[in-house]
Structure 1
Amino acid sequence: FQTKALPELSSQLDAEIPRYPPFLKGLPAASPEDLQSTQDELIAKLRQVIGFNQRDFQRLIQPCIDHLAAYVHLLPASEHHHHSGAGGLLRHSLEVAFWAGQAAEGIIFVASGTPVEKKELEPRWRVAAALGGLFHDIGKPVSDLSITDEDGRYQWNPFLETLSQWTTNNSIERYFIRWRDGRCKRHEQFSILVLNRVMTPE
């Protein structure tokens, strides 16, 4: 019987055993494309519920998801409640987008107009509902969290660039989060201020 070398065993434990408090070792500066690849199934379901073909989805919705992934990166959605793990905010945003798009099916949003006109507007309202769900927590990185490099030398300014851009521009391999005090519901006030970071002109 031969035991594993200590460094190898330590590395395996780090990868397999959750630690508390979480994120003591920071979060890796992974590419937004790699982050999205973990959510391929949910993104495919979102496309189906919106009712777009692949071409229209890639043109109108996918850029919004690209920007969101670059902006929120691996941030959690909450400290102790739902989606509190790494990548929780991205996952939660996609889930709410799916649920909102699904809930909008068959809903009459306008009373005026002919049946044909109302039918033509249905996809637009469905997209609006899904995008509202996708971006409903976009203010959390501004109001709830402080993001720095390991030494605290660099701090992310969410008004100036995405989190992904910040790590790239400052050659940061891992970043660290701190939850702000008195943050309850404050993100709702900040969402509109950073919406232009993730919304596209289309």
Structure 2
Amino acid sequence: MTTSQALSIINHWLHPHNADNETALLPNDAQEPEQPIKSSSGCAGYQVGTGTILHQQQKLVEQVNEQLNLPTELQLMFDQTLDNLTHWLHLLPAHPQHHCEPAGAVRHALETAFWSVTAMQQIHRDHDLYPDQRRAREPLWRLMAGVAGLLYDCGRMTSCLVVQQPSSKQAEEQPAELSIGQWPAFEQALGSWLQQHRITNYSPHWKQCDTNPEKPLTPEYTAINLLLLPQLTPQAFRNALQPDGDNGTLWQTFISALTGQKTGHGVSQIINAVELARLKSVKLHFVRGEALNQIMKPAKTEGQPETGKDDELKWLEKVISSLHSEDIKWAKDSLLLPWPDSAESENLPEPDILLKQWNQRGWIRPVGNLIIFRRNGRTVIALQPVISQQCKQWLPSGSFAEEYSEESAGESAGESAGEQHDQ
């Protein structure tokens, strides 16, 4: 797709009632050079349905829905869009370098939606409206940001991935009428195509894919989002973003966010936030292996001071150096700290703030899915082995350190799970 074609499609959707824009160029109109194709891992076929795929992402879906906090009518619009997108992408990966696993594309889309909604809620908009009018539109803004994040990368994935008919050996075993060629990525959902041709497994292949996933998406990719928009979103959603009497802010922000192109009354900060949400999903995949680890981390506490790692290390050193000998316990390679007793000092931030900061640094080692658990009637936290080794230099000299097994820690955690704070 050329840049002029991409801009033509964007203009068509920004002004949907303009008769001059009734037809938009499709990617099939552009003659693109042949690109090398890179094979991806194999995926199960039509027997895997949308419900199964989303069930595997249930925890992340729940986090997104919690962040959206939509009334039932709007939640149904988001759910239908998610179902349509999952049916369209099926088990495709997101990129050769990140979210490469089956259904990685759906997971990446959900993570981008989560971070889009999170960022949007910190952005001021509707300045010209009365407070009660702004409050009434809040759910629409959250819905808009969630759907924009959900669909933002789908154009690149559908245009860069090829799903072909089964191998020649498999094709020979099929009737002639099932010689199916290649998945028409812009015309039919992959789930429907697999079902129609009864394909039990397939191997997606990458072509013409930008090898740097941290570069912003180009209009050639984002314009394809608009080609897929009528097939992925319900009409009720498109109507909801164009209410009577609105100056077009919601709709134009949505279209601009999908394409990364600021136009009309679009809110620039939200448009940028969707691209940053995609990048955050990518970067956290490389850092943690999956962005859900970051999504599940506690948010910054109100009143929490801006600190760097050096400050947090100094506070950790103060906590460790103040321990009494009888308080020093180990679980294998993890140092245990009585909590919050060991952090209660006028020279330290509040224990809850310290715990959140250390957890965000990855210094806390959960036991039985808890970051605070009981041992011998006392609440404690466990530090990760690496930071525990660093803490040894700050322990009081000649201190006695009692060791006990991680299994016993897990048992203690399990017995007292109802009494403790979950992460």
TM-score range, shorter chain: 0.7 to 0.9
Please give the residue correspondences for 1:1-202 in structure 2 after superposition, counting only pairs within 5 Å.
22-23=40-41, 26-29=42-45, 30-53=48-71, 55-56=72-73, 59-80=76-97, 82-151=98-167, 153-154=179-180, 155-181=182-208, 185=217, 186-202=220-236
One-letter amino acid of the counterpart of residue 138, structure 2: E
Match of 2:385 in 1: none
Partner SS, residue 235 of structure 2:
coil
8 Å CA contact 1:71, 1:163 repeated in 2: yes
8 Å CA contact 1:144, 1:187 repeated in 2: no
8 Å CA contact 2:95, 2:157 repeated in 1: no
CA deviations 1:3-41 (Å, max 9, x no partner) are: xxxxxxxxxxxxxxxxxx751xx2101111100100111
C-alpha displacement of 1:122: 1.4
- Unaligned ranges ≥5, structure 1: 1-20
Cα distance in 1 between the residues matched to 2:82 and 2:210: 25
Cα distance in 2 between the residues matched to 1:167 and 1:103: 37
Partner SS, residue 139 of structure 1:
helix
The verdict on how the C-alpha distance between 1:134 and 1:195 changes in structure 2, with shifts beyond 3 A counting, is same
The verdict on how the C-alpha distance between 1:35 and 1:109 changes in structure 2, with shifts beyond 3 A counting, is same
8 Å CA contact 1:143, 1:183 repeated in 2: no
Q: Which has the higher contact order (CA 8 A, sep 6+)?
A: 1
CA deviations 1:47-79 (Å, max 9, x no partner) are: 1111125x4365221111110110111111101
Give the TM-score, by structure 1 length. Answer: 0.81
Aligned length: 178
Cα distance in 2 between the residues matched to 1:22 and 1:140: 16
C-alpha displacement of 1:118: 1.2
- Unaligned ranges ≥5, structure 2: 1-38, 169-178, 212-216, 237-423
The verdict on how the C-alpha distance between 1:49 and 1:124 changes in structure 2, with shifts beyond 3 A counting, is same
Partner SS, residue 149 of structure 1:
coil
Partner SS, residue 204 of structure 2:
strand
8 Å CA contact 2:85, 2:232 repeated in 1: yes
Cα distance in 2 between the residues matched to 1:66 and 1:182: 25
Partner SS, residue 143 of structure 2:
helix
Give the TM-score, by structure 2 length. Answer: 0.40
C-alpha displacement of 1:140: 2.4
Cα distance in 2 between the residues matched to 1:57 and 1:86: 29
CA deviations 1:125-146 (Å, max 9, x no partner) are: 1110111000001112432011
